[in-house]
């Protein structure tokens, strides 16, 4: 058996933002912070604010921009209608708002105004969320000031910051701080449709690049795992080199062959040369159905070149673990599972469950490239996946894995 250095790509997993009441303190990527409602005395104009913190600071260049958000809602805690409500929002530093803004909002750069009309007694407004670019590095945070106004004729101009005592307040304001991710081995952003993003670790030795697709923004976190994660990502006879990477998103994305993603890593003192470097990609889970001892994902994705399946829970009469694909049938995209490479097919019980497709990349010549060792998008029509590795210095390698699906990778 040939010895293979392994890239194992681990499927994009849902990261649930931890909702905290009060000010967030974690520097881990991706945390929603909810602030307690703040009401003015007398007129009872109430303001509730939330934000998403610990996104990475931006860098010069279009693919170095990272985005996060702040949102708010208003509540009338009195019996009479509050009229002509509006909210001013401002940012500090080089942070800036994303356009187009939500309906009813105007402005750009660091200052916007959002108008929401009247608010009946004891009524609440819908939540308004606006996205903004994080400030440029080396910034570690930016401040956000949210000021709500109710236009009430003779009462206009009665400002009430937190703790005010004016009985006719028509202004409710608070300032919060949006903290940025500062961990060496992580990077994060909210992906906005059509934008190209590059998420590198602080040392620049690993990165993930993608173009966001879809009308709804989604959170993406890239991080370098620890060497102890390597063993759990090993598969078949591929030699593991302790450089595991992971990407998490809040949605299951299918990028497609026209929109490839790129995993990059600089491998120091690599144990094999560039021509022997291989990858293992653990793709996002797919729904599998078992019948007559065969598994099928339907028509997509194709399992023609998949090498295995990872079951994270007991299914089909099998315990959790990694199994080899054997006996693939192109006519219906079905296959069987074995405990060993090319081994005896296992008996399966009928049913449905999710599994992660596993593919070794680079063990076939058509999966390798000598021209795609670059962060420039490959030519349209390039058949993916493609692995390109180039020698740097005496024993180091720069490795590029272009693929059309999400996952985890271990170099």
- Please give the full DSSP string across 340-357, using - where no structure is assigned: STT-PBPP--SEEEEEEE
Give the model's pLDDT for residue 335. Answer: 98
* DSSP assignment letter at 153: G
Q: Residue 275 has what DSSP assignment?
A: G
CA angle in degrees (0–180, nearest 5) for 247-198-26: 55
Residues 88, 111: Cα–Cα separation, whole Å: 7
pLDDT score of 129: 98
Question: What whole-number distance in Å separates Cα of residue 363 and Cα of residue 16?
Answer: 36
**Nearest-5° Cα angle at 405, 183 to 373:** 75
- Which residues of the chain carry a pLDDT beneath 50? 1-26, 153-155, 158-159, 161-165
Determine the pLDDT at residue 147.
Answer: 96
What is the rounded (10 degree) CA torsion for 268, 273, 274, 276?
-120
Q: Looking at 241-331, list the stretches that DSSP marks H as alpha helix, in order from N- to C-terminal side.
A: none
pLDDT at 256: 66
The per-residue pLDDT for 41 is 76
Find out whether 220 and 187 touch, Cβ atoms under 8 Å: no
pLDDT of residue 271: 84
The rounded distance, in Å, linking the Cα atoms of 408 and 184 is 19
pLDDT at 369: 96
Bridge partners of 211, per DSSP, are 196
Full-model pTM: 0.85
> What phi and psi values does residue 391 have, to the nearest 5 degrees?
-75, 135
CATH class of 31-179: mainly beta
Predicted pLDDT of residue 215: 80
Tell me the backbone φ, ψ of residue 63, rounded to 5 degrees.
-85, 5
**C-alpha–C-alpha distance, residues 269 and 275, integer Å:** 15
Q: Is the CB of residue 405 less than 8 Å from the CB of residue 361? A: no
Which residue matches tokens 């809602």? 73
Q: Which residues contact 352 (CB under 8 A, 6 or more apart)?
A: 287, 288, 289, 290
Q: What per-residue confidence (pLDDT) applies to 311? A: 97
The HSE-up count of residue 336 (CA atoms within 13 Å, CB side) is 15
Determine the Cα angle at 305 with ends 304 and 306, to 5°.
Answer: 100
Domain limits, the chain: 4-11+184-278+362-410, 31-179, 290-351
Strand ranges inside 304-379, DSSP E: 308-311, 321-329, 334-338, 351-361
Q: Distance (Å, rounded) from C-alpha 150 to C-alpha 39?
A: 13
How far from chain centre, in Å, is Cα 359?
A: 22
Range list of β-strands (E), 59-136: 67-76, 82-91, 96-97, 105-108, 111-119, 128-133
């Amino acid at each position: 058996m040939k010895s293979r250095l392994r890239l194992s790509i681990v499927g994009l997993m849902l990261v649930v933002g931890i909702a905290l009441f009060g000010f967030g303190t974690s520097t881990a990527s991706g945390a929603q912070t909810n602030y307690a409602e703040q009401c003015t005395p007398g007129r009872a104009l109430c303001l509730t604010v939330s934000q998403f913190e610990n996104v990475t600071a931006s860098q010069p260049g279009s693919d170095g921009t990272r985005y996060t958000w702040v949102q708010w809602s208003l509540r009338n805690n009195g019996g009479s209608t509050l009229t002509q409500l509006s909210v001013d929002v401002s940012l500090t530093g080089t942070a800036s708002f994303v356009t187009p803004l939500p309906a009813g909002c105007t402005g750009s750069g660091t200052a916007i105004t959002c108008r929401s009309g009247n608010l009946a007694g004891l009524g609440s407004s819908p939540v308004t969320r606006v996205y903004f670019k994080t400030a440029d590095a080396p910034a570690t945070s930016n401040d956000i000031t949210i000021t709500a106004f109710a236009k009430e004729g003779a009462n206009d101009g009665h400002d009430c910051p937190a703790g005010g005592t004016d009985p006719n307040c028509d202004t409710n304001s608070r300032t919060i701080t949006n903290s940025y991710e500062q961990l060496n081995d992580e990077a994060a952003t909210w992906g906005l449709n059509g934008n190209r993003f590059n998420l590198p670790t602080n040392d620049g030795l690993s990165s993930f690049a993608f173009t966001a697709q879809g009308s709804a923004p989604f959170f993406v976190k890239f991080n370098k795992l620890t060497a102890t994660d390597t063993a759990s990502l090993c598969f078949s006879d591929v030699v593991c080199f302790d450089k595991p990477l992971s990407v998490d998103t809040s949605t299951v994305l299918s990028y497609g062959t026209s929109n490839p993603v790129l995993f990059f890593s600089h491998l120091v003192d690599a144990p094999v040369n560039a021509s022997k470097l291989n990858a293992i990609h653990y793709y996002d889970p797919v729904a599998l159905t078992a019948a007559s001892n065969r598994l099928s994902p339907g028509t997509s994705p194709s399992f023609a070149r998949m090498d295995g399946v990872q079951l994270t829970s007991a299914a089909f009469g099998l315990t959790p673990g990694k199994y080899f694909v054997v006996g693939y049938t192109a006519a219906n995209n079905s296959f069987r599972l074995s405990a060993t490479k090319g081994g005896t097919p296992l008996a399966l019980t009928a049913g449905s469950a999710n599994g992660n497709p596993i593919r070794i990349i680079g063990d076939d010549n058509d999966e390798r490239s000598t021209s795609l060792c670059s962060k420039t998008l490959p030519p349209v029509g390039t058949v993916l996946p493609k692995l390109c590795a180039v020698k740097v210095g005496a024993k180091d390698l720069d490795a590029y894995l272009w693929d059309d699906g999400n996952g985890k990778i271990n170099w």
